[in-house]
Copies of this chain bind each other. A is one copy, B any other.
Amino acid sequence: MLQPPPARPGMREDEVDTPALLIDLDAFEYNLDRMAALLAPTGAKLRAHAKTHKSTVIAHLQIARGAVGQCVQKVAEAEALAWGGVPDILVSNEIVGASKLARLAALARIAKVAVCADDALQVAAIEAAAADAGVRLPVLVEIDVGAGRCGIAAGPDAVDLAKRIAASRHLVFGGLQAYHGSAQHKRTVAERRAAIQGAVEASRRTVEQLRQQGLECPIVGGAGTGTFEIESVSGVYTEMQAGSYVFMDADYARNLDGAGAPIGTFRHALFVLATVMSVPLKHVAVLDAGHKAVAVDSGLPVVWQRPDIRYVGASDEHGKLEVAPETTAPKLGEKLRLVPGHCDPTVDRYDWYVGVRGGRVECLWPVSARGGMH
């Protein structure tokens, strides 16, 4: 069941039922514009990652500002976007299983849909699905550029797999997927540069070896919010797959800039609004937002603009706050904004975004691909 929304347009923010997923629309639009401005001089394009927002509304706003399309991780996300009119979708991930591939191939009739592979068995399965559906699917070869997750070895192995794809009359060689996930959250610029330098070199070498075999890469995709400023000027990467930049989370905000200060490229635009539901002791308060309301896999949430209040522990439906001795504890019923430690899995818990501006609810947007598991 889709849950009823926690707000109505026109309400004051403090009237929104909690926990609720807020977008600060001013900060959000700033982030959209900022990314477009940062990429404009680089020659690299944005293919924003929809695994962060899972929203057709936000996808279209990104495309309106120059994004070539969207990335997704799952067929269910590709379906939600294609059904919502997004015309160009890359599944930046391997898809394994005949039923999923049949659904993906079916989508190719209403949108441009590409997918990744790192194994010849996957390529054969994608080929079979494309043949059955009577479509031709672009397939990118995913190479491991240092993250040590999915991906075939860069160089000759990747070239062999690309040749296998290009030789199929049901497939099109789509290029390289070269995302370095673990580089995104390295804290210093030097660490991020070192990691991405390796990714760029592996990608460049593979692109050149492919060219020697007569294979061009329409897409060399990768990069995230933590590193896109490096890949975008590499001359190798063509598409930036940043997702979190639209919202920012507490963990990304712990990345540092060249001067060692917290990086300020984007603004916090996503919040979990929560209510103080109990004040059992003078300097302890309990919020109605715990594990089911906010992801803690990248650290506990941070109370927005209240350095005197720390979120110190979560249980399923409760968040415990410690209030500094010199300050007044929040009152029963008071609402506080939390900055999630990690945006993507926080968003995936909610059915609705509540867009706020100037203290008022301006819009409700569904989290269209929420729970899109398979």
Interface membership of A171, Cβ < 8 A = no
Interface membership of A229, Cβ < 8 A = no
Contact of A374 among B18, B320, B368 (CB under 8 A): B18
A residues 1-34 in Cβ contact with B at 8 Å: 1-3, 6, 15, 17-20
A residues 287-345 in Cβ contact with B at 8 Å: 288, 291-293, 295-297, 314-318, 320, 332-333, 342, 344-345
**How many Å from the CB of A14 to the closest CB on chain B?**
10
Interface residues on A, range: 35 or more
Nearest residue (CB) in B for A92 is B317
**How many Å from the CB of A340 to the closest CB on chain B?**
12
Contact of A96 among B20, B76, B122, B276 (CB under 8 A): B276
Question: In the bound complex, do residue B286 and residue A291 qualify as a contact, i.e. CB atoms below 8 Å apart?
Answer: no
Interface membership of A53, Cβ < 8 A = no
**A145-153, A193-201, A204-212: which lies at the interface:** A145-153
**How many Å from the CB of A92 to the closest CB on chain B?**
10
Question: In the bound complex, do residue A278 and residue B150 qualify as a contact, i.e. CB atoms below 8 Å apart?
Answer: yes
Complex: how many Å from CA A318 to CA B348?
15
Interface membership of A119, Cβ < 8 A = yes
Interface membership of A370, Cβ < 8 A = yes
Number of copies: 2
Q: What is the interface of chain A mostly: helix, strand, loop, or mixed?
A: loop
Interface membership of A372, Cβ < 8 A = yes
**How many Å from the CB of A200 to the closest CB on chain B?**
20
Interface membership of A97, Cβ < 8 A = yes
Given contacts A1-B370, A276-B96, A373-B350, contact A73 B18 (CB under 8 A): no
**How many Å from the CB of A20 to the closest CB on chain B?**
7
CB-CB under 8 A from A295, the residues of chain B are: 291
Contact with B along A340-373 (1 / 0, CB 8 A): 0010110011110000000000000010101111
A-B residue pairs in contact (CB < 8 Å), sample of 6: A20-B373, A73-B317, A152-B280, A293-B373, A296-B297, A350-B373
Given contacts A20-B373, A74-B317, 5 further A-B contacts (CB under 8 A): A1-B368, A94-B278, A148-B280, A149-B320, A293-B373
Residues of A with Cβ closer than 8 Å to B? 1-3, 6, 15, 17-20, 51, 73-74, 76, 80, 93-97, 99-100, 118-119, 121-122, 144, 148-152, 181, 275-280, 284, 286, 288, 291-293, 295-297, 314-318, 320, 332-333, 342, 344-345, 348-351, 366, 368, 370-374
